[in-house]
Amino acid sequence: MKTIKLLPVILLLSIPHAFAQQATANKKEITTLIDKYTKSVIEKDSTTFYDLFNDGPVTWCAALKDRSQALEIEKKGAKAAGSNYFLGSYKGFFRSLYRYKSTEDKFDNIRITEDGTVALVAMDYSFWADNKMTNWGGKYLSLIKRDGKWKITSVIFSLELTDYFKQPPLKARQKLS
C-alpha cells in the first residue's frame, strides 16, 4: 500500500530530473555545434560550416563599437570610415577567410539559454587572422532545433578593433556578463 501511495510522489519528483537531463543534452549538442563552428573556421571546411546554419534566410550583422568607430572616423574621415553597421551572410564570412593563411574564431564566456526548441548563445569572441587578433566583442547566436538538430538562424556581433583596444582578460569580461 505504501508503495502505491508513494508512486505519484516519485513520478512528480522524477519530472524535473527528466527535464534537467534533456536540458543538459541540449546544451551538450549546442556546445558541439559551437566546437564545429570553431574547427570549421580553422580548417576552412565549408561543408561543415554551412551545415550548421538553417535553410533559408539567416541574419548576419555586426556593429563596430562606438569608441572604435570614433577612432576610425578620426583616422580616415567620416566618409572613408563609413557606417559602423554592416550586414552580410555566413557564406560571405566564410569566403572572406581565404584572404588569410590561417584563421580562428575563439569563443569564451559562453552562456546558453534554451527551452528544447529555441536557444540563444551569448559569448565573447576574438577573431584571429594569420595568428594576430584583429577584432573582438560579443557574439550572439540564435538557434532552432529543426528535425532534431540545432541550426543557427542568426549571428549578431559587436566589433572592437585591436588596432585601438585590447580585449580585456576573461575575468574582467565575466564580471560584465
Q: Which three cell numbers stand for residue 162?
A: 585591436
The closest alpha carbon to 72, from 140, 4, 163, 144, belongs to: 163
Give all domains of the chain, ordered by start, each with its CATH number: 2-176 (3.10.450.50)
> pLDDT tens digits for the chain (177 residues)?
455 565 555 555 554 544 445 668 999 999 999 999 999 999 999 999 999 999 989 999 999 999 999 999 999 998 888 899 999 999 999 999 999 999 999 999 999 999 999 999 999 999 999 999 999 999 999 999 999 999 999 999 999 999 999 999 998 888 776
Three-state DSSP class for 140?
strand
For residue 163, the 8-state DSSP code is T
